């Protein structure tokens, strides 16, 4: 669905460049980039490398400009293997001739050059997170099961990359954070202030349907990888034999989760979008046991009118209102999640309030807040 906002004067006269870490997989970062491209039609997208066959066909209408990394063998299939080269790739990208550079960063793309002699572009970084595998390496190592000689070899390299990453962050003019948790991380890691503009959620597609009855099951929609902490829910339901849990998604942890699950937990694999929407509309509550920088799926569940039970941390602190649109449990343990489910009464949550809260994070709200923020920064 197209969203129209009245253009500002500076949008019509400002030469804009968009920057993205890599274009070889789809995720929340790419959803944000699509919004940027719609807001600034015709603006070139600079990225380290691009695999058109891995991305939506609509991306082929964009002006995408890559670095020397595009010529490296198998780079779009194994981009992690080229970790040491990203700083050089973006540092060699000179965007000083533009008026505004808007980077969409979770990796290294904030390191583009925006000053060349007297020429200087205003660089605003929309920060999904400070580079996670540099600054939260222990979490990343557990998530990716990195150990042994690879772990020993990575540590000195990561120390060098952290120094580069911090220095690059000091050259950014302004930071925008996707949540209050990321805002605090930017302050702690980069020693920089930021404003929060939450990422967009498609509240048009995730809409309520009063004809769908509320069922007797709880729902999780997630990749099944360790850091998502789906194991907390599976273990909690071992002690809740009269409750049912549906898990949508796949990943390398699926077999281990199935092995520990009781008969009241059903693994549905990946489902088409319409089926996910149907399951969300009919669940008693949506469960979100992991720690995420923002977390799109809980907002999608609230958007269809269903409450959320989430871990009290990360983006859930910004999105879930305890007692109104769901509940938060304080520690990532099966016991506390089980207690939250035991005390949950679905009748206590108004679907209209859930929907209203979700609309604070709609695509329209994102675009309006982002343009307001950019307008203030450009005016400065």
In this prediction, residue 5 has a pLDDT band, given cuts at 50, 70 and 90, of: very low
The residues pairing with 65 across neighbouring beta strands, listed in sequence order, are 46
Mean pLDDT, range 170-175, rounded to an integer? 97
pLDDT reading at 147 higher than 70: no
In this prediction, residue 142 has a pLDDT band, given cuts at 50, 70 and 90, of: low
217-361: CATH number: 3.40.50.2000
Specify the pLDDT at position 12. 66
Kind of pairing between the strands at 194-196 and 217-221? unpaired
Specify the pLDDT at position 1. 42
Specify the pLDDT at position 28. 84
Specify the pLDDT at position 137. 67
Whole-model pTM? 0.88
Instruction: Give the integer Cα–Cα distance in Å for 200 and 368.
Output: 11
Specify the pLDDT at position 46. 98
**Contacts with 284 (C-beta within 8 Å, 6 or more apart), sequence order:** 214, 215, 216, 217, 218, 306, 344, 346
In this prediction, residue 77 has a pLDDT band, given cuts at 50, 70 and 90, of: confident
Fold exhibited by the domain 9-200+363-379: Rossmann fold (3.40.50)
pLDDT in tens, 40-58: 999 999 999 999 999 999 9
pLDDT in tens, 215-236: 999 999 998 988 899 999 999 9
Specify the pLDDT at position 7. 52
Q: Which of these, 119, 121, 102, lies nearest to 44 by C-alpha position?
A: 102
pLDDT reading at 6 higher than 90: no
Helix axes 180-190, 148-171, angle to 10 degrees: 90
Q: What are phi and psi of 244, to 5 degrees?
A: -120, 145
**Contacts with 56 (C-beta within 8 Å, 6 or more apart), sequence order:** 26
Instruction: Give the integer Cα–Cα distance in Å for 94 and 114.
Output: 6
Three-state SS at 356 = helix
Q: Which of these, 55, 23, 45, 50, lies nearest to 102 by C-alpha position?
A: 45
Kind of pairing between the strands at 115-116 and 100-105? unpaired
Yes or no: say if 232 and 334 are a contact pair by the CB < 8 Å rule: yes
Residues 247-280 as b or e (16 or more Cβ within 10 Å = b): bbbeeebbeebeeebeeebebbeeeeeeebbebb
* Domains 9-200+363-379 and 217-361 are alike in CATH topology: yes
Instruction: Give the integer Cα–Cα distance in Å for 101 and 378.
Output: 11
pLDDT in tens, 322-364: 999 999 999 999 999 999 999 999 999 999 999 999 999 999 9
Q: Which residue has the tokens 């990343």?
A: 140
pLDDT reading at 2 higher than 60: no
The percent of residues in the chain predicted with pLDDT above 70, rounded, is 92
Yes or no: say if 292 and 181 are a contact pair by the CB < 8 Å rule: no
Yes or no: say if 107 and 131 are a contact pair by the CB < 8 Å rule: yes
Specify the pLDDT at position 212. 93
In this prediction, residue 379 has a pLDDT band, given cuts at 50, 70 and 90, of: confident
Q: Mean of the per-residue pLDDT values for the chain?
A: 92
The residues pairing with 208 across neighbouring beta strands, listed in sequence order, are none
The percent of residues in the chain predicted with pLDDT above 90, rounded, is 80
Higher-confidence residue: 2 or 19? 19
Specify the pLDDT at position 94. 96
Three-state SS at 224 = coil
pLDDT in tens, 258-312: 999 999 999 999 999 999 999 999 999 999 999 999 999 999 999 999 999 999 9
Yes or no: say if 66 and 49 are a contact pair by the CB < 8 Å rule: yes
**Domain residue spans in the chain?**
9-200+363-379, 217-361
Q: What is the DSSP letter of 42?
A: T
In this prediction, residue 3 has a pLDDT band, given cuts at 50, 70 and 90, of: very low
Higher-confidence residue: 25 or 192? 192
């Amino acid at each position: 669905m197209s969203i129209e906002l009245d253009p500002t004067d500076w949008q019509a006269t400002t030469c804009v460049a968009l920057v993205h870490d890599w274009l070889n997989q789809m995720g929340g970062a790419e959803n944000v980039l699509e919004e940027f491209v719609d807001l600034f039609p015709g603006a070139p997208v600079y990225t380290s490398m691009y695999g058109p066959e891995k991305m939506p066909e609509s991306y082929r209408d964009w002006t995408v400009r890559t670095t020397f990394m595009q010529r490296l063998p198998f780079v779009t299939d194994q981009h992690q293997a080229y970790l040491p080269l990203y700083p050089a790739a973006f540092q060699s990208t000179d965007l000083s001739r533009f008026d505004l550079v808007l980077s969409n960063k979770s990796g290294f793309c904030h390191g583009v050059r925006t000053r060349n002699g007297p020429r200087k572009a205003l660089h605003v970084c929309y920060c999904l997170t400070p580079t996670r595998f540099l600054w939260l390496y222990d979490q990343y190592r557990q998530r990716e099961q990195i150990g042994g000689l690879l772990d020993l070899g990575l540590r000195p390299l990561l120390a060098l990359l952290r120094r580069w990453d911090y220095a690059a962050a000091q050259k950014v003019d302004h930071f925008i954070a996707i949540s209050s948790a990321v805002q605090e991380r930017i302050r702690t890691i980069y020693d920089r202030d930021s404003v929060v503009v939450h990422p967009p959620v498609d509240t048009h597609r995730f809409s309520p349907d009063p004809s769908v009855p509320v069922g007797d099951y709880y729902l999780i929609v997630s990749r099944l990888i360790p850091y998502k902490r789906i194991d907390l829910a599976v273990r909690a339901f071992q002690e809740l034999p009269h409750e049912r849990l549906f898990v949508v998604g796949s990943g390398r942890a699926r077999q281990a989760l199935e092995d520990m699950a009781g008969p009241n937990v059903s693994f549905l694999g990946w489902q088409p979008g319409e089926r996910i929407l149907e399951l969300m509309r009919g669940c008693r509550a949506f469960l979100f046991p992991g720690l995420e920088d923002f977390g799109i799926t809980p907002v999608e569940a609230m958007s269809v009118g269903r409450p959320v039970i989430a871990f009290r941390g990360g983006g859930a602190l910004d999105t879930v209102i305890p007692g109104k649109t769901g509940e938060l449990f304080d520690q990532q343990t099966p016991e506390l999640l089980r207690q939250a489910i035991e005390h949950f009464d679905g009748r206590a949550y108004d679907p209209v309030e859930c929907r209203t809260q979700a609309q604070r994070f709609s695509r329209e709200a994102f675009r309006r807040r982002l343009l307001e923020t950019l307008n203030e920064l450009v005016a400065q």
